[in-house]
Structure 1
Amino acid sequence: MPLKPFACLLLLAALCSAPAHAQSEGPLGDLFLAKEGGLRHYSSYDSSGNNADFRTLAPGQTLTLVDHKGAGVLRRWWLTIAPRNVVEIHRSLIIRCYWDGEQTPSVEVPVSDFFGMGYGKWKDFISAPLNMTSGGYNSYWPMPFNRSARITVENRGKLPVSNFYYNIDIRTYGKLPKEALYFHAQYRQVRTQAGKPVTLLETSGRGHYVGTLLSMQPLRGNSLGYLEGDERIFVDGETVPSIIGTGTEDYFSSGWYYDTGEYGAPYHGVTVKDDSGRINTYRWHIEDPIPFTKSFKFDIEHGGTNDAPGVEYTSVAYWYQTHPRPTFPALPQELMPRSLSMKPTIEAESLLGSATVTGGKLQVQDMGTWTNGWSGNAQLWWVEAKPGDKLTLSITAPEAGTYELTGFFTRAGDYGIFRTSLNGTTIGSLVDGYSTRVEPTGPVPYGPVQLKKGVNQLTLEIVGKESRAAGYSEGYLVGIDGFQVSKE
């Protein structure tokens, strides 16, 4: 029934006289209202009054960023680091947060992973609680505490940090609501095993789960088949999970193996998807936290039935809960991505004496001019060859059997494409040596191979080049850093 004019006037008057804060005005709507409490700022500013507004971190050193007394909520955390974009530094700097005098941390995560990027990378992306933008690392996760907060960063690596800048803002209060729960973030790193899911978090107490960062990389090939795995979430002691998903990228609010590529959204995104099969992806349960009153376990499958072994999974779980809570699993001793921690066990230069070529010449090239990192700062360099030419190297095995064979090569603007065979049988995929810069390929997995006892013939045959490859040797150069051979 239509409202009569008098009723419409009454409704309009009620709306006009309602308190301003009772109306929804968007995220900035109540910014004009008076705020309770105060603000405490912690930073790396130069207390001498000069402009050296940073700290240094030597290998083995721990730096305290915050040692705060009283109740509060950490609201904003920014930092930046030099040397910049160094994988070893990003995985060796460990952030830890201790709330209310606890002896073990509620946050223990390598720095780049904590801020939303796996593989020890820094890369521009934006989401609601975390981002990396134009050199900065930012977190807006609210982190409450009742009596104290202590935040540290430890340099577990071998490289010194020359410049560590930070700004941290804490809203201070006389007392927090009793419902306030502690913020947690936990890092895990595993290599998948057949028949066994990956556990991202297992905890007990009362709380709610708010986010997942997951980085995955196959150690053989670049198949994304591991994304067939479903999430399986057990709440409050369930023996059958109450949440079962339909695929890994589906859980992260995407689809079809992230077929349209990288993107960043406020609550979900994929920030790394590359030709090596790497996926770095996040989902924040800000609009849909998962509550628990007694316990919580988050497993995720790899492949359709946990049938994608040999994939490296690193994860950060973000959640809020009561204290006390279970102690975190110990961090792995080796935090570097396995693809980067792998090094040749056979230097290619050492094979020069027994190597043969059907065309071109072999020589050892000093790679010390470039800073990207070749084992021994040298490579075996095959020059002045052409398509159809072959290079044969001798690989010795102590006994016959199945071995994992990995190659390490070089890419540059004048390098060609080659295929590899072992004792006359083609192995692996074609290796394209073209790049716009001089750089190591990193590990190139050939998978399990059969070696006979004694000498085995490993042959590289030039088959072509990328259309842009040009320069010395007409773009058909081949550079070999070495090989890793390990018994399965």
Structure 2
Amino acid sequence: MRRSFLIIYSFVFVIFIGQACIRKPGEKIVTIDLLLKEMTDRDGLAKLPQNNFKLKQASSYSRKSIAPDEEGWFDNADASQYVRTDTIGGRIEHVLMDVDGPGAIVRFWSTWHAQQFSMGTLRFYFDNSPIPQIEGQISDIISANKYVGAPLSQTTSPFLENGGWFSGHNLYFPLPYAKHCKVTYQKADESINDVLYYQINYRKYEPGTLVESYTKGDWDSGKFSEIIAEVSNKLRHNEPQINQSVVTQLKGVMKPGASLSASIEGEQAIKKVVVKLEAEQVEQALRSTVISMEFDGKPTVWVPVGDLFGIGYKISPSKSWLSTVEENGEMSLFFPMPFQQSAKITIHNFGKVDVELVMLEMHYEAWNWDGQSLYFHANWRNYPDFNTSEKRDVNYVSISGKGKYVGDVLTLFNDSYDWWGEGDEKIYVDGESFPSTFGTGTEDYYGYAWCSVVDFSLPFIAQPSGDGNRSPGLTVNSRWRSLDVIPFEQSLKFDMEIWHWGNTQIDYSPTTFWYGTKDARVEVMEDVDGVKIPVKFPERFEGEGFKVSRITGGEVITQAFLSYNWSARNHLLWQGIKKGDELEVYFYSEKERKGQLKAVFTQAPDYATADVLLNGDLIFKDLDLYNSELGLKELFFKNGRIKKGKNIVKLIVKDANGAGESPNKFGLDYILVLADRIFNN
């Protein structure tokens, strides 16, 4: 018996040693621990992968989309499109993904239309096991996973629409598998309308890569509690740790057409870039002021300042794994930017007025450049006054050479009250004829859902401004990649559909972030004419876009009804309030506006009476929003004034109106200055 055991042991040992010996230098056994550590390894972004893989996506994209030159390429039926439907143990299970390993799921996004869908069952079968290793309600696994917790399992900011809560659901906890992975969904009620959207990003490792599969019970055993806590803490506190930081600074006033530059010598890596600007019109300065960078003599970065830091042309506080923007306008970027001999950073003023560079700081330290190191790139494209009457693909970026794609920022101005973002991402790697990443909508790519106007910032996704999602205004979306980076050997092309519900015009500007070898190139590098175009602003200020600065009772949410005639089909709802409660919210204006002020509020049986102040001035006293049914109340104020910059709206709840109701709500649709009209009593 002992002899048999020794023979078996020796055989297994030889097999293991044999597999280990054929691994390439630098390769490691892929485990959950290894992947979680990689997730927060910023320096790893600037290097070729330790284990070679291709990044792919399983999604519910329309199966009518076969080829760009065939009908159906822009088809929008991208819900509940499954690989197939299996019957397992008498259960009907819809297959979302069925792939061979070795591999790892690294991002799972989903959303659904009905409450019943959050009660449906999601199952993961690894390595051809007939028994699921993970099984539970879909929301409990993806976005409310008690074993993983936020931010690895989290919704974007939800909003109330048509009586139900809507949100994008995101899981970033990696799920590796050695041989095979199948993911299925079983509806809670097979008879309900079938509306499930999903995107699953997964790594497909080279054959022979050793992977330690997720096994049943790994979550609830607490096996990964310590590293989950460590990674989550790093993601929440995003400031990079720089061991021996050296700082190079720039400051000064730049006249139109002028620029300022600084250089760094040696084998180094910039780990943090901080910028703050001041100008007569900061919004235009964020677009017309451009940062360019050269590493070892190669130009790799040319991007407007606001787009580089993920906020477009509006100062919007935001915090993600790779960037932070403070309310005072200080912007920080945390991409590692290594080089062998030299780096040069230049800031250009292509605008018409002076721009004060309050600060530009580059924090850097020594870097050991080797055959795995890559150069940082950031590129900006601009599609101004884009006509949406015809659906078509626009190019984010086209790259030739070797590298990895690590993220993007989309800045757009929507000219209508219709939703702009039905278009799908299509990412082609190394000359693919059909994209290995084919999405279900622009908002889904950026992690949220249902045209939500609610602002949010999470480690890997952010919407610092969503004003343009359902009304004329600015929207900015960003996605930073970690485990879902896209390596490429020869080329990468990223196209996004323009699929707008209305026939209008939009300004559409994507910025892309990637790393490459010295030979890697992009088709478009500079667009001086594009950054000179005046940026656009909305004429009215939507209540749902206001930010809360102070609240003493109740809660503020965004409420929407697609069938109701709020200006953008949503409003700011302050609910759960009582007499004496106060709320202060604020919004920004790019210029001073004077004239007749129009404000639109919501009325209903349970709506309260309140005083309304704008920048300290009482504009509506004892505003009674009681009405026997849901409605809108338009009010005018003769001498309205909206300041340039920050404006504060203060609400103070007063006495009940005596109508026998229990008023506990207050609704604000929008504020508008009608400068060209005269108010008559």
Say whether the fold is shared (TM-score over 0.5): yes
- In the alignment, the residues of structure 1 paired with residue 502 and residue 597 of structure 2 have an alpha-carbon distance, to the nearest angstrom, of 40
- In the alignment, the residues of structure 2 paired with residue 78 and residue 149 of structure 1 have an alpha-carbon distance, to the nearest angstrom, of 16
The answer to whether the Cα contact below 8 Å between 1:213 and 1:280 also exists between their aligned partners in 2 is: yes
The answer to whether the Cα contact below 8 Å between 1:263 and 1:270 also exists between their aligned partners in 2 is: yes
Where do 1:192-231 residues align within 5 Å?
Answer: 192-193=386-387, 194-219=390-415, 221-224=416-419, 226-231=420-425
Task: Tell me the TM-score normalised to structure 2 length.
Answer: 0.44
| Local SS of the residue matching 1:340 | coil
Q: CA deviation at 1:310?
A: 2.5
Percent same amino acid at aligned positions?
A: 25
CA displacement 1:118-154 (0-9 Å, x = unmatched)? 1x21111111101111321101111111111110101
Letter in 2 for 1:60: G
Partner of 2:322: 129
The answer to whether the Cα contact below 8 Å between 2:402 and 2:520 also exists between their aligned partners in 1 is: no
Q: CA deviation at 1:281?
A: 0.6
- In the alignment, the residues of structure 2 paired with residue 72 and residue 38 of structure 1 have an alpha-carbon distance, to the nearest angstrom, of 11
Partner of 2:253: 56
Q: CA deviation at 1:303?
A: 1.2
- In the alignment, the residues of structure 2 paired with residue 209 and residue 307 of structure 1 have an alpha-carbon distance, to the nearest angstrom, of 32
CA displacement 1:224-283 (0-9 Å, x = unmatched)? 1x2110000000011211110011111111111126x11110100211112325321111
Letter in 2 for 1:282: S
Letter in 1 for 2:376: F
Partner of 1:440: none
Partner of 2:442: 248
- In the alignment, the residues of structure 2 paired with residue 162 and residue 156 of structure 1 have an alpha-carbon distance, to the nearest angstrom, of 13
Q: CA deviation at 1:90?
A: 1.2
Aligned partner of 2:286 among 79, 90, 93? 90
Partner of 2:270: 74
| Local SS of the residue matching 1:258 | coil
- In the alignment, the residues of structure 1 paired with residue 255 and residue 356 of structure 2 have an alpha-carbon distance, to the nearest angstrom, of 8
Aligned partner of 2:638 among 471, 475, 479? 471
Letter in 2 for 1:469: F
Where do 1:317-336 residues align within 5 Å?
Answer: 317-327=512-522, 328-335=524-531
Q: CA deviation at 1:162?
A: 3.3
CA displacement 1:286-338 (0-9 Å, x = unmatched)? 1210111100000000117x986622211110011112232534315142566
| Local SS of the residue matching 1:470 | strand
Aligned partner of 1:108 among 289, 302, 316? 302
The answer to whether the Cα contact below 8 Å between 2:595 and 2:676 also exists between their aligned partners in 1 is: no
Partner of 1:314: 509
Letter in 1 for 2:474: R
- In the alignment, the residues of structure 2 paired with residue 127 and residue 166 of structure 1 have an alpha-carbon distance, to the nearest angstrom, of 20
Q: CA deviation at 1:340?
A: 2.8
Partner of 2:483: 287
The answer to whether the Cα contact below 8 Å between 2:303 and 2:511 also exists between their aligned partners in 1 is: yes
Partner of 1:303: 499
Q: CA deviation at 1:412?
A: 4.5
| Local SS of the residue matching 1:333 | helix
Aligned partner of 2:338 among 109, 124, 144? 144
- In the alignment, the residues of structure 1 paired with residue 635 and residue 517 of structure 2 have an alpha-carbon distance, to the nearest angstrom, of 59
Q: CA RMSD in A?
A: 3.6
Q: 1:285 to 1:479 in 2, by over 3 A?
A: same
Q: 1:277 to 1:160 in 2, by over 3 A?
A: closer
Letter in 2 for 1:471: K
Q: 1:240 to 1:342 in 2, by over 3 A?
A: same
Letter in 1 for 2:520: R
Partner of 2:451: 257
Q: Which runs of 5+ in 2 are unaligned?
A: 1-36, 38-225, 235-240, 540-588, 601-611, 616-631, 641-670
The answer to whether the Cα contact below 8 Å between 1:97 and 1:108 also exists between their aligned partners in 2 is: yes
- In the alignment, the residues of structure 2 paired with residue 436 and residue 162 of structure 1 have an alpha-carbon distance, to the nearest angstrom, of 30
- In the alignment, the residues of structure 1 paired with residue 377 and residue 439 of structure 2 have an alpha-carbon distance, to the nearest angstrom, of 24
The answer to whether the Cα contact below 8 Å between 1:252 and 1:269 also exists between their aligned partners in 2 is: yes
| Local SS of the residue matching 1:202 | strand
The answer to whether the Cα contact below 8 Å between 2:595 and 2:675 also exists between their aligned partners in 1 is: no
The answer to whether the Cα contact below 8 Å between 2:596 and 2:639 also exists between their aligned partners in 1 is: no
| Local SS of the residue matching 1:335 | helix
CA displacement 1:398-453 (0-9 Å, x = unmatched)? xxxxxxxxxxxx66554589xxxxxxxxxxxxxxxx9958xxxxxxxxxxxxxxxx
CA displacement 1:105-125 (0-9 Å, x = unmatched)? 20100111111111x211111
Partner of 2:474: 278
Q: Which runs of 5+ in 1 are unaligned?
A: 1-20, 30-34, 45-53, 344-370, 375-409, 418-433, 438-464, 482-488
1:232 paired with 2:439, answer no
Partner of 2:462: 269
| Local SS of the residue matching 1:122 | coil
Task: Tell me the TM-score normalised to structure 1 length.
Answer: 0.61
| Local SS of the residue matching 2:285 | helix
Q: CA deviation at 1:93?
A: 1.0
Q: 1:277 to 1:479 in 2, by over 3 A?
A: closer
The answer to whether the Cα contact below 8 Å between 2:392 and 2:499 also exists between their aligned partners in 1 is: no
| Local SS of the residue matching 2:435 | coil
